Structure 1
């Protein structure tokens, strides 16, 4: 599988119906994974905790990729994440991300996230642990 396909499948699978599933996360992400969201750094275990927070707060998350490009061992995306929350409200984010891939696993993600729609309490939903 190519790096672009890996990132697309990771976004769809990890944020899809099995959100929070450790086996699904481990299929795409290295145990040495580091994510930096808007300057906040989290490791693999904190990423798993983040996915569980998203599972508890949302009914579904839909990812729409606007653009995607591949560089040396990395994939850059501009995508939108629309979260339907359990309380019926909706939050939407624009995300610029750079995924670093090593041995067919995502080892790092650096991203900037901008909330387009949602309440003030959801500003940190993209990195909440």
Structure 2
């Protein structure tokens, strides 16, 4: 059973939110291999910006290079068959110490136990409006 199929079998919503928060945080901190979560044909559309799998890897690396810390808090989540949807808050701490909170509405399509497509819409909930660009930046 892989990371994604474990999420789909979780019936306790509080545990599901916690597991998804850990997954997203671990992914962006480099603690989880993207190959374990995303299909090679992965596509992500965030605020109208399209990334393929290699573009997403560049995005992860770019985000890591721009921040001191990152944490995800999943507020709401739902899973059904091949759909995973959540609303999460990303708290980013920049090297200078200031923070931003970005609210994300995410809709993921699942294929063969991995995420194959994500559509996201973001907004800066707290911090400078320019923080929103981090949600899709690749360098």
TM-score by length of 2: 0.81
Equivalent position of 1:11 in the other structure: 24
Q: Secondary structure at the match of 1:125?
A: helix
> What RMSD, in angstroms, separates the aligned Cα atoms of the two structures?
1.8
The gaps in structure 1 that reach 5 residues or longer are: none
- Runs (4 or more) in structure 1 with deviation over 6 Å come to none
Q: Judge conservation of contact 2:45–2:118 (CA < 8 Å) in 1.
A: yes
Identify, as 1 or 2, the structure richer in strand: 1
Q: Judge conservation of contact 1:10–1:28 (CA < 8 Å) in 2.
A: no
Q: Secondary structure at the match of 1:123?
A: helix
The gaps in structure 2 that reach 5 residues or longer are: 1-5, 11-15
Using the alignment, how far apart are the partners of 1:2 and 1:89 within structure 2? 33
Equivalent position of 1:38 in the other structure: 47
Q: Secondary structure at the match of 2:106?
A: strand
Using the alignment, how far apart are the partners of 2:86 and 2:131 within structure 1? 22
TM-score by length of 1: 0.87
Count of residues in correspondence between the two structures: 124
